[in-house]
Amino acid sequence: MDITRIEDFREEEEYQKWKDIEIGQIVSDEENYYRRTGKRNGGCFVLRWPKIYGINYYKSRYFERFKAKRDFPHPHQKRLFDEFPLIKEPNK
């Protein structure tokens, strides 16, 4: 799954035929599907995924969805690794 900003998508010569893609619309070429994100993100992004995954792949639980800032823990919340010293933090 690839994601790009709509402005960058519109500038690419390869995608000029889809520069007016509507919010939530899905288009495709020989190898990939392209979908402009919905109203929640303001339609600011275009997603691309291989056709082998199918047209509804963006709805699946395997698709890593965009996380809004409000979905992340508050900076003042304690980290799990601080509360439970037996848990090793990754890459340490």
Where does the pLDDT of residue 32 fall: very low under 50, low under 70, confident under 90, or very high at 90 and above?
very high
Q: What pLDDT score was predicted for residue 19?
A: 86
Where does the pLDDT of residue 26 fall: very low under 50, low under 70, confident under 90, or very high at 90 and above?
very high
pLDDT tens readout for residues 10-24? 888 888 898 899 998
Q: What pLDDT score was predicted for residue 28?
A: 92
pTM: 0.63
| Phi–psi pair at 35, nearest 5 degrees | -140, 130
| Phi–psi pair at 71, nearest 5 degrees | -85, -15
